[in-house]
A and B are shown apart, each in its own frame.
Chain A
Amino acid sequence: MKIIVCIKQVPGTSEVEIDPKTGVLKRDGVESKMNPYDLYALETALRFKQTHGAEITVVTMGPPQAESVIREAFMMGVDHGIILSDRRFGGSDVLATAYTLSQGIKTSGGADLIICGKQTTDGDTAQVGAELAEFLGIAHVAGVSQIHELSDREIALDLDLPLHIESVKVKLPGLVCVEKGIYEPRLPSFRRKLETAGRDIKVYTLDDMVDTDPNHYGLSGSPTQVKRIFPPESTNTHESWEGSDAELAERLFELLEDRKFLQQLR
Chain B
Amino acid sequence: MGGIYHPHETVLLKCIYRLKDSAALDVKTLSKESGLNEDSVRKAALWLSNKGLVKIIVEEEKTDSLTNEGIKYSKTGLPESELYRLVALNGRAEIKDLKGREIAIMWAKKKGWIKISNGVVEPLSRPKDPDEDKRLLNCIAAGNKIPKGKLEEFKNRNLILEKPVKKESLAITGKGILEAELFLKAGFGSDAEIGKLTPEIIKSGQWKKGLRSYDVTLPAGRLIAGKKHITTIWAEKIRKIFLDMGFKESAGPLVESSFWCFDALYQPQDHPSRELADTFYMKKPVRSELPDKKTVDAVKKAHESGVNGSTGWMYKWSGKIAEKPVLRTHTTAVSARSLYGLKPPAKIFCIGRAFRNETVDYKHLPEFTQIEGIVADENVTFRDLLGYLKEFYSRLGFSKIRFRPAYFPYTEMSVEPEVYFEDKKEWVELGGAGILRPEVTNPLGVDAPVLAWGLSLERPVALMTGLNDIRNFYFKNDLRMLRETRVRV
The answer to whether A and B interact is no
Using a CB–CB cutoff of 8 Å, the interface residues on chain A facing chain B are none
Using a CB–CB cutoff of 8 Å, the interface residues on chain B facing chain A are none
